[in-house]
Chains A and B, each alone.
Chain A
Amino acid sequence: MSIESLPASKSHSWLEKWLPIIVLAVVGGSLPLWGDEFFGTVGTRICVYWMLCAGLNLVVGYAGQIAIGWVSLLTVGAYTASALVAGRITPEIHPYLALIVAAIFGAVSGLIVGLPALRLRTFYFAMTTLGFSTIVTQIALAWRSATGGGVGIPGPLLPEPFDTPWGLYFFCLAIAIICTWITCNIASSRYGRSLIAVRDAEVAAEAVGIYKPGLLVNVFLLSGALAGIAGGLFASLQSYITPEAFSFDLSVLFFIAILIGGRGSILGPLIGTAVLTVLPDFAAPLVQWSTFVYAVLLLAIVLLVPGGIADLLDFKNRRPLDQHREIRPRPELLPEIMGTEPSKSLMTLKGIVLAFGGVRAVDGVDIEIRGGEVHGLIGPNGSGKTTTLNAISGYYAPQEGEVIVDGTNITRLGAHQRANFRIARTFQTPRIVGEESVLENVMIGGTNDGQGTFVEAMLALPRHRRDEARLHRDAMTALALVGLERLADVRADRLQHSELRFVEIARAVMLRPRFLLLDEPAAGLSVDEIRRLGALISAIKAQGTGVLLVEHHADLIFEICDRVTVLNLGKVLASGEPEEVRTHREVVNAYLGA
């Protein structure tokens, strides 16, 4: 059976991807047919807010950063465009050019306000965005020559034919559609998947080679640029701006619109933005209470429906799954992903020492992992097996010793750089992005081989499309390899534990690993599944990959390992061929038992 005949619902996912744009274009485009000029103004406002929210959605909904002070970027964009068009700093500038400058200033501000997120977590980052927005308002008040201070300045008037209310509306709608298109492209690209991976499974993201700072810098630049344009058009819409127009309530609206919409969705936040913008306009008594209503909505979302609107619309994942599923790996598919030339590498661990306080968890361990061999790493609990794996993955920097791959010392490299050496791994507790489909989880494994840049992904240029096609094909093959292709479209958190173990292996295989580190892959598997796992590992080994297998199932170890190292209290107790180790007296005493 070839991969093409597998049930991958291509047309379905196409609709899913472009639905936000279709909704926006159809509803927005037909607005003049069913609404009066008042509707037009509200519609313009929705479009302007959505430009900002579309970018913020990548920061909040995808990257999971709690950015609550985003109104500051709207302020920057609005004052930049207004001051430039009015000629308060420079000679008067054409409105279109001013919008572009506003986007640039917005992008730079987005970077400044976002940078702390690379080091700080949640509450701290939330506070810095709040602090930033306070400061921007204060500067706007104080820098009178440019901003008019508390008196304010007129917003830019766009040239014909966009100088009428309906003209401005269509201009904003067009830009809002472009913004949606860009964020849809990013969201469905490897960058979008990486963002979610960083959010929900940061450790696994590093292991597949995702570099969080680089990724976030791109996203903050993009989000800032969109907010800058939104700011410029906001000033046009208001026709006159003062610092009071940029109240904290607006920040709250943006932030809550995304959470109500749901994390990791675009249609949801789009609906959320529209609803929250319209709410005070069409329920006059609510105006005073709008922020209170937002606050209550936020609390309700957090406590009752953490998935937001997107979750309510996700009908696909409510269909029950087949209860009696069997995992049937097909190791013969391996060459289709891994390629056919088995190149053998060598990894050497020399005298690795890793101490936590006074405890020497790993105390001078030497291991040699050869390509085309399975190396078992066994020992009692707490003997340092996982810690050794973590030293190879770069999660811990050893105090002494070296990790050398084919002559290159990688001991001091960052965790995300290990993927360049084609070192893949799985985890003792599967690190999976539960909210993404199984297929997307596996595609994350191939992130490191993508060629297209962030900008190419944004604009869906050919090189990026080739990346995606290849990732999709390889991931389907990898899923067929581990026998889970029928679950490709299912949300990963609906799978059983044993299936997640195989998803992790499929993800690791996507890296075409020269070394594969498996941390207790058989834990929680049935006897049949363990047997199939053994066959799969043997097939991976036959591709020339060096496998380091941490396991407690002695049967599996002695059946498939070419070499076994036994750890005890952080030291190597014995090492050699399985038969030697099995009969080693100290090993029997310390671990195996008679």
Chain B
Amino acid sequence: MIESILSYGIALGAVYALIGITYNVMYSSSRVFSFTAGTMGMLGGVLGSVFISTMGMPVIVGFLLTVVAGAVLGLLIELIAARPVLKSLDQHLYVLSTLAVSLAMLQLTAIYFSTDAVPFPRVVPFDTEFFDQKFWLPILACAVTVIGLEYLSRRTLIGRAFLATAEDNYAARALGLPEQGLRMLSFALAGVIGVVAGFAAGQMMFASLANGPLLNFYGFVPVALGGMGSNRGALIGGLLLGLFQQMANYFFGGIFASVAVFVVFIVVLLARPEGLAGAATPRRV
């Protein structure tokens, strides 16, 4: 019993963390919060299911195509929803533009795929005795992503350039960093992380339209609570959220779990709008 709660909770938490990181990667390079983060997660499951189950491709090919689609969609989002509104960031138009793109993606999925949940194919051909692949795949994906990002930002020039733009956009531009190129790259990367999350979680959450809004919210909770832009916050917050949800689900029922998460989310944000680990922004006259 307890191990099923643990494995399910941690696996779910890993997916939330990945979506949180998707939010972060876009936010760091552009200061744009994007409603597309969870939608990309949903698409990861849907595309994987279409490529592998419907079109009968080998798993590895389906995975690679999903990743490519994620990168392309990420670039499109940058082009359509982020770049045109960056000039007036203080008007927060990105909330509307990313919402519009996210809605359009959801509706296209509803029309061309299905509004119902569709089972996701087995990804790894062998079965493990005690810990099913539907649980360890998301955890693996999360670990690889976190370690990969960490390596990128510590060891590579491009990673440092990312950090520089995230820290101070103007200064980075003054240094001659290709701000626009880095932003496009980070949106592509965010797209990839999003679809990988959905692909890895496919067997656990199915390929389902409903995952879009769900992941949008539960992926945002850890980053909002942990502080926007902090991947560590997203990871810890995501795992805690997944575990908490499964436990509350088991002991008190699903409604209680949702209400409890919502209440905690609001109460913490009201007490500390900048998140538990974030720094307060100074005032503006």
Contact = CB atoms under 8 A, between A and B. Distances in A.
Given A356-B282, A386-B285, A390-B285, A295 B97 contact: no
Interface stretch (A2-10, A130-138, A375-383, A576-584): A130-138
B103 A252 contact: yes
A547 B242 CA distance: 59
Contacts of B224: 124, 127
A339 to B, nearest CB: 30
B84 to A, nearest CB: 5
A123 B95 contact: yes
Given A121-B92, A356-B282, A427-B285, A289 B269 contact: no
B51 interface: no
B104 A120 contact: no
Interface stretch (A189-197, A296-304, A449-457): A296-304
Contact of A134 (B103, B258, B282, B284): B258
Contacts of B81: 299
Interface stretch (B133-141, B147-155, B171-179, B212-220): B212-220
B273 A124 contact: yes
Contacts of B76: none
Nearest to B88: A306
Contacts of B259: 135, 139
B279 to A, nearest CB: 12
Contact of B104 (A124, A127, A295): A295
Interface of A is mostly: helix
B96 A203 contact: no
Interface in B184-227: 213, 216-217, 220, 224
Contacts of A134: 213, 217, 258
Interface string A349-360: 000000010000
Interface residues of A, number: 45
B220 A299 contact: no
B255 to A, nearest CB: 5
A289 B100 contact: no
Nearest to B80: A299
A122 B283 CA distance: 17
A327 interface: no
A252 B101 CA distance: 13
Interface string A36-63: 0000000000000000000000000000
A66 B92 CA distance: 10
Interface in B235-274: 253-255, 258-259, 262, 265-266, 269-270, 273
A292 B270 contact: no
B201 to A, nearest CB: 19
Contact of B269 (A120, A259, A386): A120
Contact of A119 (B111, B254, B270): B270
Nearest to A293: B107
B85 interface: yes
B111 A289 contact: yes
Contacts of A128: 265-266, 269
A421 interface: no
B249 to A, nearest CB: 12
A212 to B, nearest CB: 14
A298 B111 contact: no
Contacts of B253: 142
B108 interface: yes
B99 interface: yes
A248 interface: yes
Nearest to A292: B107
Contacts of A122: 33, 92, 95
Contacts of B146: none
A498 to B, nearest CB: 21
A420 to B, nearest CB: 20
A120 B285 contact: no
- 6 residue pairs, one from A and one from B, having the closest CB atoms: A295-B103, A123-B33, A299-B100, A298-B100, A295-B104, A122-B92
Given A119-B269, A119-B273, A303-B84, 20 more contacts: A66-B95, A116-B270, A122-B92, A126-B99, A127-B216, A134-B213, A134-B217, A142-B255, A248-B213, A289-B107, A289-B111, A291-B103, A291-B107, A295-B101, A298-B96, A299-B96, A299-B104, A302-B100, A303-B97, A393-B285
22 contacts: A123-B92, A124-B273, A127-B224, A128-B265, A130-B213, A289-B107, A291-B107, A291-B110, A292-B104, A295-B100, A295-B101, A295-B103, A296-B100, A298-B99, A299-B96, A299-B97, A299-B101, A299-B104, A302-B93, A303-B84, A393-B285, A396-B283
